[in-house]
Structure 1
Amino acid sequence: MRLELIRHGQTDWNLHDQLQGSSDIPLNDTGREQAHRAALLLAPYEWSAIVSSPLMRARETAEIIAAELGIELGAAYPELIERDYASREGTVATTKIPDEPNEFFPDIEPRGAVAERGLAAIADIRDSRLPLDGDGANIAVVCHGTIIRFTLSALLGREVGHIHNAAANQIEWRDGRWHVLSINDEPVDSLADAVDETVSVVGDQG
């Protein structure tokens, strides 16, 4: 089974580098165009299902892709909601965003908790879809930049850089574990040392 972890299209908060997190912000017109372009990239392949985070920016991205591919929109998984930035949501980060709460980010969700949610979500998707679709299924999963980044980092055991809006990141369940095949549509082997040092400040926090 392969999962394509797709970051939602752009929102106005993305455009202005505002922390979105669990805030339910809609796509802007650029984000909708990005979703249509993502669907074109996915179109050559056969898809068993498309699922998403329940937040509207992810759900609408999934709806656009589903309509383009002619497949039914599947379940929304609460575990896929973006990292919670709590009182900092809507603001622009001017310092590095920490893994754990600190004096500048006193109530953000710890990185480990986000990664655990991401790993639990892909396991849940795997376990719920395998009986329906079998080992060879391709499932599109639309969610958010930081949860994708932290989940991929946990799987790889190393830091993963910025996740682009509407980019696909492919993982495969094989030999009893997840294998990361691509990040931002690029084969993972070619990105082994390519870590964007700015990702903890701006870019994929939503």
Structure 2
Amino acid sequence: MSDARPAREPGRRRLVLWRHGQTAWNVERRFQGKTDIPLDETGIEQARRAARLLAGLRPTALLSSPLRRAADTAQALAEVTGLPVGYDRDLIERDGGAWEGLTSREIRERYPVEHAAWQPPGGETSAQVAKRVGAALERALDDLPPTGQLVVASHGAALRLGMSHLIGLPEEVWERLGGLSNCCWSVITEMRDGGWRLAEHNAGTLPEPVLSDDRPDAGA
């Protein structure tokens, strides 16, 4: 029996990849990973503002990482649009292993070799994250009708790596795709051949740095 998915009906699907709002650990530059940190007050307001803008895209479906910072971001859009929120654990942030809870300075000082390679001890590799998140996005797109518009609320590294996988970028160029700021989004549109094109990246950006678990080279 084949594990291959049936071919999707050609269409004009749109995928909006939305990073969660700010958390206290973002501000403190602590690696969050799969640790379940909530939005801070600024993050809540960012989510509400972004939700008002994203509602104008008329999304037809809403999916989220179950971690609170992403789920609460998604809920802000659900309240504006009336759409239910689905959840997929494969959309959670990169497992940061021994780095979770440490500041960027602590990581550099305690793990200089691993920091240079951006590989957290006991955590996931970039390739593992790209495959996991990319597979979650593919599953969601399989359920999306040809004219569907899906918003996915997730995390900085997870989204950058997942979108790189989805649009077919080779691993050696993943770092050339910059990071996502808090509560900003990227738009992926369907091509006539069934492939995907990056139409917008880090949209909604305010004049603030990217505070993320993502590789520093991929951020601001």
Alignment partner for residue 70 of structure 2, among 55, 58, 65?
58
Tell me the distance in 2 between the aligned counterparts of 1:55 and 1:166.
15
Q: How does 1:192-203 map to 2 (within 5 A)?
A: 200-201=215-216
What letter matches 1:126 in structure 2? L
C-alpha displacement of 1:78: 0.9
1:89 paired with 2:89, answer: no
Does the Cα contact within 8 Å between 2:15 and 2:188 map onto a contact in 1? Answer: yes
1:178 paired with 2:196, answer: yes
Aligned twin of 2:38: 26
Does the Cα contact within 8 Å between 2:63 and 2:153 map onto a contact in 1? Answer: yes
C-alpha displacement of 1:98: 5.2
Structure 2: segments with no counterpart, 5+ residues:
1-12, 205-213
1:38 paired with 2:40, answer: no
SS at match of 2:216: coil
Tell me the distance in 1 between the aligned counterparts of 2:70 and 2:153.
6
TM-score between the two structures when normalised by the length of structure 1: 0.82
Aligned twin of 2:154: 143
Tell me the distance in 1 between the aligned counterparts of 2:128 and 2:202.
23
Q: Deviations over 1:154-184 (max 9, x none)?
A: 4362321121111111112322212111111
Tell me the distance in 1 between the aligned counterparts of 2:217 and 2:68.
21
C-alpha displacement of 1:107: 1.5
Aligned twin of 1:160: 177
What letter matches 1:88 in structure 2? W
Aligned in 2, Cα 1:65/1:202: closer, same or farther, shift over 3 Å?
farther
C-alpha displacement of 1:79: 0.9
Aligned twin of 1:126: 141
Aligned twin of 2:88: 77
Does the Cα contact within 8 Å between 1:58 and 1:144 map onto a contact in 2? Answer: yes
Tell me the distance in 2 between the aligned counterparts of 1:43 and 1:119.
24
Aligned in 2, Cα 1:100/1:34: closer, same or farther, shift over 3 Å?
closer
C-alpha displacement of 1:93: 2.1
Aligned residues between the structures: 185
TM-score between the two structures when normalised by the length of structure 2: 0.77
Aligned in 2, Cα 1:125/1:107: closer, same or farther, shift over 3 Å?
same
SS at match of 1:176: coil
Q: Deviations over 1:37-64 (max 9, x none)?
A: 1112112222111110011110011011
For the pair shown, which has the larger CA radius of gyration, 1 or 2?
2
SS at match of 2:182: coil
